[in-house]
Amino acid sequence: MPVDEDPTPQVEPISPYDDLFSDDVIPEESKSKEKSLKGPVLEPDNDSYESDKENQRKISPPTNRNLAFIAGIIGIGVILIFALFFLSPSFGPDLKTEPMANITPVVTKEETVTPEQTPVQAEKGYTQFDNFSDKESGWGSYEGETFLRYYSQGEYHMIQKGENLSDRALLGKNVTDFILEVDTRFDSGPLTGQYGIIFRFDNGKYYSFGINGRGWFTIRKHIEGKVYELIPLTETYILNKGYNSNRLGVKAEGNTLSLFINGKMVRAIGDTSLTQGDIGFFVSRLEEQGFVKEQPVHVAFDNFKYGEL
């Protein structure tokens, strides 16, 4: 522990050997020896010690906490200087700003195009389309004891109840050369029941292009109550058998009659008997063993397309 200075003035100690090296001082008579001035080290009194500690605190170097506080202030100051230097337009290096070229963005505008009801009509010469959603489209409705025809759920239905009977629905046009297509669906009835297209109908004379559920097709000529088979019942793999859908087509141009099933031509014939008339649909119920006698033939037509040539 350090020894504090005594507040009373002290006399420089006199060495007993100093006189040996002095020429000017005459030794005096011996005196009684005084007590050594180098007495024991005395502890400072409390008041003096506490005062000195306070003085030491005042002059002691800053603690770690003070240093961290000062360093934080300095760091914040440096950050503010950098921020002012780089972010402020009046500070930092004088950078030349190149003018940006005016770029007009290309905006692709998406347009919602509503397709025409039958976009293929114009390509193949069709001018009329009927999906049978409008009950006033011209085919009419009828209900009798043996025959029904009506619109239902976007289809045109024909039901033949009478055995060995045929009935028809006509559009009401008188045309010479034309092309037409229609979807047919066999709903129920004996598989020998026939249905399809009639054309060049004139006062009970007409051609009929028919198919049945067994996968057969035929074309007939009806004149004066007589039926002539231009093509007898002929089986073809192109037809979907049973209670399925098939697409039928007819192209009548002059004396040439071309027949189509599901987009493929199955036969082309020549006949000069009928040159013009109406167009429409027909259904026939023929007797077939194994079916209930009263069961009718029920077919439906849809997506009719027609055009004059």
180 falls within a domain: yes
Q: Is residue 263 part of a domain?
A: yes
Within 13 A of 235's CA, how many CA atoms are on the CB side? 4
Confidence of residue 201 (pLDDT cuts 50, 70, 90): very high
What pLDDT, on the 0 to 100 scale, is given for residue 85?
55
Q: Give the confidence band of 216 by pLDDT, cuts at 50, 70, 90.
A: very high
Provide the CATH number for the domain around residue 134: 2.60.120.560
Contact 207, 221 (CB under 8 A): yes
* Range 203-228 average pLDDT: 95
Distance between CA atoms of residues 70 and 83, nearest Å: 20
- Find the domain containing 135 and state its range: 121-308
Q: What is the pLDDT of residues 8-32, one digit of tens each?
A: 444 444 444 444 434 444 444 444 4
Would the pTM count as exceeding 0.75?
A: no
Distances (CA, A) of 72 to 23, 80, 273: 69, 12, 113
Q: Can you tell me the distance from the alpha carbon of 88 to that of 191, in angstroms, rounded to the nearest whole number?
A: 92
Q: Is residue 86 part of a domain?
A: no
Place of tokens 């035929």: 218
Give domain status of residue 154, yes or no.
Answer: yes
Q: Do 176 and 207 contact (CB within 8 A), yes or no?
A: no
Radius of gyration of the chain (CA): 61
Residue whose C-alpha is closest to residue 307's, from 95, 58, 118, 76: 118
Rounded to whole angstroms, the Cα distance separating 60 from 52 reads 12
Whether residue 126 lies inside any domain: the answer is: yes
Task: Please report the pLDDT score of residue 293 as a whole number.
Answer: 63
Q: Is the pLDDT of residue 210 over 50?
A: yes
Token pair 């009798």 is found at 144
Specify the higher pLDDT residue, 117 or 174: 174
Tens of pLDDT, residue by residue over 74-94, are 877 777 776 665 555 444 444
- C-alpha–C-alpha distance, residues 194 and 186, integer Å: 9
State the average pLDDT over residues 249-267.
96
> Does 236 have pLDDT greater than 80?
yes
Q: Is residue 56 part of a domain?
A: no
Task: Give the pLDDT confidence score for residue 237 in this predicted structure.
Answer: 95
What whole-number distance in Å separates Cα of residue 302 and Cα of residue 186? 12
- Quick check: 205 pLDDT over 80? yes
pLDDT value, residue 252 = 96
Residue 48, domain member (yes or no): no
Distances (CA, A) of 78 to 89, 91, 114: 18, 15, 66
What does the pLDDT average to over 219-232? 94
Q: Residue 296 in contact with residue 161, Cβ under 8 Å?
A: yes
In a domain, 10, yes or no: no
Torsion region of 101: left, alpha or beta (phi above 0 gives left; psi -120 to 50 gives alpha):
beta
- Predicted confidence at residue 260, as pLDDT, reads 98
Residue type, 309: L
Beta-carbon contacts of residue 253 (< 8 Å; ≥ 6 apart): 177, 309
Top-confidence range, 15-29, 91-105, 255-269: 255-269
Question: Under 8 Å CB-to-CB from 254, ≥6 apart: which residues?
Answer: 177
CA distance 285 to 8: 150
The number of domains in the chain is 1
